[in-house]
Amino acid sequence: MSTEMDFKALWNKQPIDAKPDIEQVVMKAEKLKRIFRLKLILLNIVLLATIVITIYANNIIANEWLVSKIGAALMLIAYISYLVAYNQLIPILFKTNPEISNLEYLNQLITINRKSAFLDTVMTNIYFALLSTGLALFLIQPFTHMKIVNGITLYAVTALCMAFALFYLKPIGMKKRKRHFDDLITKLEAINGQLREEL
Amino acid sequence: MAFEEIYKTYWSKVFRICMGYVNDHDWAKDIAQETFVTIWQQLPKFRNESAIGTWIFRIASNNCLRQIERQNRMPRSEMPEQIAEIITHDIEPAVQFLYKCISELSETDRLIISLELEDVKQAEIAKIVGLNESNTRVKIYRIKERLAKKFESYEH
């Protein structure tokens, strides 16, 4: 039984699932493309709306102080950079090429995941740094127009919210994503190692 | 070669390679479909630098390797026994055993032996996997030896 021919004969006896209608496959591919395009359009609308709202809010509040304007700008940059990095840039920059050899493909996947893990940490830190600095600067002007108690309350509540995000939400999210990347990289390296084993 | 022709010629080959990798009909069908979607998308860029078969098997095997990112899939071995039985009851036991043995190999060995059993030339397998020819030959020999041992104990 255990001859090459027997293995091949058995291998070919595997029932093959009926191949889906060719149009269905093509439609699936086109649908994927459409979804991708729709996401792109939606993202741009969100980005545009964010910019408009922030500029509008900045004008309504009539910020005369430069620090407030800088604060608003920093928050805007934080928001945009976060969205760009997470929804658009990463998939485009780190696109895999499915036509290369398995060894090269595995190396590519490892590099992509390492870069994604690094970018995730860097982008999250940049986002929080820009957002908290921007918010702190933005609130200086309203603070001067408030009663001292109201001003302190406003800063305290904002600081509490930021602290919750910084010291609770951020570490949890980052830890979870880091574990995901680490796990994936370890598995990919293990598979890669199979090809490098001494023969 | 037109996509329709590629699809007709290679569906069963790609499906079997995916089956060798995951040993799960539905999952294998999903990977095979993804492979053909990629082929459909990439075909206009195909420049005949390699044989069409090599190119297709590269995409298929890379798609198999990518399955590591989909951890929420329940591996076949972890399915309740009853369900597993319902799905596989009409497949010849020796065929089931062969695919089971292959799916228990390391990821790259699964791909190498699947390509070998699919009658892909060893030089082409080496190109697909990214090893040199002599290493590929040794690997194939060792995998077959392991499978043969498993079959010996299966038959006795």
**Are B151 and A22 inside 8 Å of each other by CB?**
no
Residue A165 CA to residue A46 CA, distance in Å, equals: 22
Any domain includes A3? no
Helix A4-12 crosses helix B107-117 at what angle (to 10 degrees)? 90
Across the interface, which of A102, A109, A199 has its CB nearest the CB of B130? A102
Number of domains in chain B: 1
Does the model's ipTM exceed the 0.85 cut? no
Residues making up chain B, counted from first to last: 156
CB-nearest partner of B108 from A7, A8, A102: A102
Contact A81, A73 (CB under 8 A): no
Cross-chain Cβ contact B41/A17 below 8 Å: no
Q: How far is CA B40 from the centre of its chain?
A: 20
Backbone angles phi, psi at B106, to 5 degrees: -70, 160
User: B103 lies in which domain range?
Assistant: 3-155
CA distance A187 to A181: 10
Instruction: Give me the tens of pLDDT residue by residue for chain B, a chain 156 residues long.
Output: 788 889 989 999 999 999 999 999 889 998 998 899 889 888 888 877 678 999 999 999 999 998 887 755 544 444 444 444 445 547 788 899 999 999 999 999 999 999 999 999 999 999 999 999 999 999 999 999 999 988 888 776
If one counts the domains in chain A, the total is 1
- How many Å is the Cα radius of gyration of chain A? 26
Q: Write out the two tokens for A183.
A: 């796990």
Does B94 touch chain A if contact means CB atoms closer than 8 Å? Answer: yes
Residue B82: the pLDDT is 45
Contact B33 A104 (CB under 8 A): no
**Alpha helical stretches, state H, A61-169:** 66-83, 90-93, 102-138, 140-144, 148-164
Give the pLDDT of residue A197: 67
DSSP B68: G
Provide the residue-wise pLDDT of chain A in tens; the chain has 199 residues. Answer: 455 558 899 999 888 877 787 777 777 777 777 887 787 778 678 777 877 887 777 777 666 788 888 888 898 888 888 777 766 555 555 567 777 889 988 988 888 888 878 878 888 888 889 988 988 888 888 888 888 898 889 889 988 998 898 889 888 988 888 888 888 899 889 988 888 765 5
Q: Check CB contact under 8 Å for A109 and B65.
A: yes
Q: Which domain holds residue A78?
A: 23-194
Residue A5, in any domain of the structure: no
